[in-house]
Amino acid sequence: QRPPRRRGPPPLSLSLFAASPGDGAQTWARFSRPPSPETAGVFQDTFPDGFLWAVGSAAYQTEGGWRQHGKGASIWDMFTHHPLAPPGGPRVANLSSVAPPSLPPATGDVASDGYNNVFRDTEALRELGVTHYRFSISWARVFPNGSAGAPNREGLRYYRRLLERLRELGVQPVVTLYHWDLPQRLQDAYGGWANRALTDHFRDYAELCFRHFGGQVKYWITIDNPYVVAWHGYATGRLAPGIRGSPRLGYLVAHNLLLAHAKIWHLYNTSFRPTQGGQVSIALSSHWVIPRRMTDHNIKECQKSLDFVLGWFAKPIFIDGDYPESMKNNLSSLLPNFTESEKKFINGTADFFALSFGPTLSYQLLDPHMKFRQLESPSLRQLLSWIDLEYNHPQIFIVENGWFVSGTTKRDDAKYMYYLKKFIMETLKAIKLDGVDVIGYTAWSLMDGFEWHRGYSIRRGLFYVDFLSHNKTLLPKSSALFYQKLIEKNGFPPLPENQPLEGTFPCDFAWGIVDNYIQVDTTLSQFTDPNVYLWDVHHSKRLIKVDGAVTKKRKSYCVDFAAIRPQIALLQEMHVTHFRFSLDWALILPLGNQSQVNHTILHYYRCVVGELVRANITPVVALWQPAVPNQGLPRPLARQGAWENPYTALAFAEYARLCFRELGRHVKLWITMNEPQTRDMTFNAGHNLLKAHALAWHVYDEKFRHAQNGKISIALQADWLEPACPFSQKDKEATERVLEFDIGWLAEPIFGSGDYPWVMRDWLNQRNNFHLPYFTEDEKKLIQGTFDFLALSHYTTILVDSGKEDPTKYNNYLEVQEMTDTTWLNSPSQVAVVPWGLRKVLNWLKLKYGDIPMYIISNGIDDGLYAEHDQLRVYYMQHYINEALKAYVLDGINLCGYFAYSFNDRTAPRFGLYRYAADQFEPKPSMKHYRKIIDSNGFPGLETLETFCPEEFTVCTECSFFHTRKSLLGFIAFLFFAFIISLSLIFYYSKKGRRSYK
């Protein structure tokens, strides 16, 4: 029976009134506004009670048994065996002759053999837990000759057996009368749907189905995808019956299909609805387009595109019985006309809006001219909103939706699974956020089958079928397991682990900001200029240099570097306790050794760290970071092989020694290497880089630690990797392998065993790759344990798929393919926002290397170039920091600090917490949000509001007020001394004068 209407609040005031043609055009303007991060990504909620969860299939695609038990030939049997061609036209290629050896002949002769496996197919339905099953009746199996003579009893018995089995399982059938497989006899006798006489034969066939099966069927679909039937069956000839007619013929066929549908609806409404109580509709397929640019003209072109595909059939049925005005205006005499009686006959002949959306039409069979130069997009949510506005808020039953994977993909169909997740989540958003009345969803399809013009080159099933096997066993794919879990939960209910946690970090937690490449500006103030100037007050009003007149040049001080103090002031405004930046090795040692030291640069860095300490901000200094040009190395070292040359490691140790000596009094946290890019590094380079880190660590440990009392380690990039198919053991193993190559390569020798991960060595040896060097025992001892903490940079999470779905993206070296969940929120540069990945990588590191002190040394996201409010970064920081809090509070991670990336847009465009324009720095909302988190030391709740952390100040004897202003203090002392002497003389002489007067 018909489910009750379930609607959310109407999204627009216009929803209160009846829709009229063209109202859907509001959709593009509405969705052109950027959504909030909370609604743009993963949406956690459940579907309304009573929501219809379905899966579908089509007779020719899955039944097989093409000549069994008296079945007649269909146009698809003929099209795949003996393709037709129009008179005088070229012959269409025989599909069955082009299948590769690894695939069966491209016909539906056997397909999935559903005709002989009713129990097998219905068991798959039971496993999924669906409430409804959409299938089609093969017209030629019931009426081998179309309609003449008695029906085929064996055919009727097959469908009765299927319906009885569905009744036993409590699964409601959704039955399609015509899913493209017209009896060949009717094509030969009448020319198929080009002849209006076919509507009478269709009525006879439908009446038989209603009479025999109607007592068990509450949802009927008359015709599937009339656009494809008419346009590609009779105009382009791409599909059966393969007639390459004119566009006029295509429009004529569509005209007849609409009349045929209306005739069936009226038949059911008059003769069967009173006793059977079912509903009848037509499955309309559509694409979605977005404007190239948001102009009125482009929006009208998008509206026209929808009119020419979906509106072609939907407007006559749901609005007024006639074609869209844009079609009538553009097609002139090509488009047939309805009489007034025909308009009344067609209008209103649908009890619900049956929508098909997916690759059957989108990106495949949509005529390019019907896009009107606009851009196709797979946005189901926007299409649902358009239908809601355009056709007066109908109940929508999505009767076909899904995607496809390669024909070589077996059970780990990650690509399909994430498209399915995306489409279902968009449906949920349409219901909950847009007020669209969607009553059901059908995943397509139940099992792999014959995919029309693409044969067996792609797969669309939730269950895998080995087409070359005899028994055709159905094996659930990852998508089937996902869909089963989703139906069980009725959507995406909020998970406890994803709920925000209230709490605070320890009082000594390091709150930092990152500026990888600080602007080194050694320009001194004018007060260090030894020249003498005259002020031309009468004419130019400018200072005029006096030639030959110079004064003694005084020593420069940190206050003379005009660029430092403003940057420190911004950091103080942010309330951070730590500031991380990288030194420029090439600037300090242009030749790579100490034969030429740039003391000016060293003095500048010394001033930076000194002023930071004075401001009670702890400097965190990285010695090296990969950068262009020359990988961040001095040019001579880069020319001599860079990290491929073992000498570079020795040079790095000497460079580190210099930095420790010159800057170490102010620096308590050192990073040897910041984010070495393992994916762009050779094994030899990584080998030497590890030794360089170890040498630098030992230099500090043995020569400077006692006096300077600092800590030192390496900072690794540690983005999280997740199995694309969580149910796949292969994907889990592939994910662990990539984690070891990405993180373990450098982490295991330092934080673990002193050697490379065994997974890495074993994988390479199995493939006869022996390029990974070996450490000597002394080198292992040198490297192992060279850390005081574990520093990681983390930005995103990536999915790892062990399959080879897309050869262009496949990593043959690791035999994996990386991908993303299409429901995840993304930045403008397509970096996925996945906060829980941070918590997972922290736990993985703890599991691998023990309870080590950890710093999240860099974490951030890019924003839009013209974003006035960086909502995405606010969302990103809020959720990533909260995941860090969960790791600290719930998982016992020894987390010591968090550093946001990045300081400003000047040095890291689109990543900064400060916007930079016209030589001015302006705080973004994300900076203020970060400051609020810092001031709260996390996310205090009622139980943590009383927590108080006393403010601590770092004592710096070398940078105290008196130490750094010796000359000024000396001058003040001189003035004070002169003042005292003057007062003494005045007092002496005034007293002497009084005695003389007496």
Position 535 confidence tier, pLDDT thresholds 50, 70, 90: confident
What's the pLDDT at 934? 98
pLDDT at 128 over 90: yes
Residue 38's contacts (CB-CB under 8 Å, 6 or more residues apart) are 875
pTM of the full predicted structure?
Answer: 0.89
Mind spelling out the 3-state secondary structure of 567-636? HHHHHHHHCCCEEEEECCHHHHCCCCCCCCCCHHHHHHHHHHHHHHHHCCCEEEEEEECCCCCHHHCCHH
Least confident among 301-305, 483-487, 562-566, 711-715:
562-566
Q: What is the pLDDT of residues 299-326, one digit of tens each?
A: 999 999 999 999 999 999 999 999 999 9
Q: What is the pLDDT of residues 395-448, one digit of tens each?
A: 999 999 999 999 999 999 999 999 999 999 999 999 999 999 999 999 999 999
pLDDT at 952 over 60: no
Distance, in Å, from the CA atom of 957 to the CA atom of 959, rounded to the nearest integer, reads 6
Position 833 confidence tier, pLDDT thresholds 50, 70, 90: very high
For 48-82+106-492, which CATH class?
alpha beta
Distance, in Å, from the CA atom of 59 to the CA atom of 179, rounded to the nearest integer, reads 7
Position 971 confidence tier, pLDDT thresholds 50, 70, 90: confident
pLDDT at 366 over 70: yes
Q: What is the pLDDT of residues 190-216, one digit of tens each?
A: 999 999 999 999 999 999 999 999 999
What's the pLDDT at 876? 97
> What share of the chain has pLDDT > 90, as a percent?
80
What's the pLDDT at 927? 97
pLDDT at 998 over 60: no
Q: What is the pLDDT of residues 628-682, one digit of tens each?
A: 889 999 999 999 999 999 999 999 999 999 999 999 999 999 999 999 999 999 9
Q: What residue spans of 867-965 are helical by DSSP H?
A: 871-889, 925-936, 961-964
| Arithmetic mean of pLDDT, 372-382 | 96
What's the pLDDT at 91? 39
What's the pLDDT at 550? 78
Q: What is the pLDDT of residues 30-68, one digit of tens each?
A: 999 888 899 999 999 999 999 999 999 999 999 999 999
CATH number of 510-939: 3.20.20.80
| Arithmetic mean of pLDDT, 101-109 | 79
What's the pLDDT at 951? 62
Parallel, antiparallel or unpaired: strands 289-290 and 375-376:
antiparallel
| Arithmetic mean of pLDDT, 519-538 | 76
pLDDT at 724 over 50: yes
CA distances from 57 to 298, 399, 427, 927 (A): 37, 10, 21, 53
Position 6 confidence tier, pLDDT thresholds 50, 70, 90: very low
pLDDT at 339 over 50: yes
Structure-block tokens of residue 756: 């490379």
What's the pLDDT at 93? 41
pLDDT at 504 over 80: yes
Q: What is the pLDDT of residues 180-191, one digit of tens each?
A: 999 999 999 999
Identical topology for domains 48-82+106-492 and 510-939: yes
pLDDT at 763 over 50: yes
What's the pLDDT at 548? 78
> What share of the chain has pLDDT > 70, as a percent?
91
Share the mean pLDDT of the chain.
91
pLDDT at 81 over 60: yes
Distance, in Å, from the CA atom of 894 to the CA atom of 508, rounded to the nearest integer, reads 12
pLDDT at 92 over 60: no
What's the pLDDT at 554? 63
DSSP 843-888: HHHHHHH-S--EEEEEE-----TT-SS-HHHHHHHHHHHHHHHHHH
Q: What is the pLDDT of residues 156-174, one digit of tens each?
A: 999 999 999 999 999 999 9
Position 811 confidence tier, pLDDT thresholds 50, 70, 90: very high
Least confident among 144-153, 401-410, 614-623:
144-153
Q: Find the radius of gyration of the CA atoms of the chain.
A: 37
What's the pLDDT at 9? 37
Position 864 confidence tier, pLDDT thresholds 50, 70, 90: confident
Considering only CA atoms, which of 469, 408, 474, 453 is closest in space to residue 107? 453
Q: Break the chain into its structural domains and give their ranges.
A: 48-82+106-492, 510-939
What's the pLDDT at 983? 81
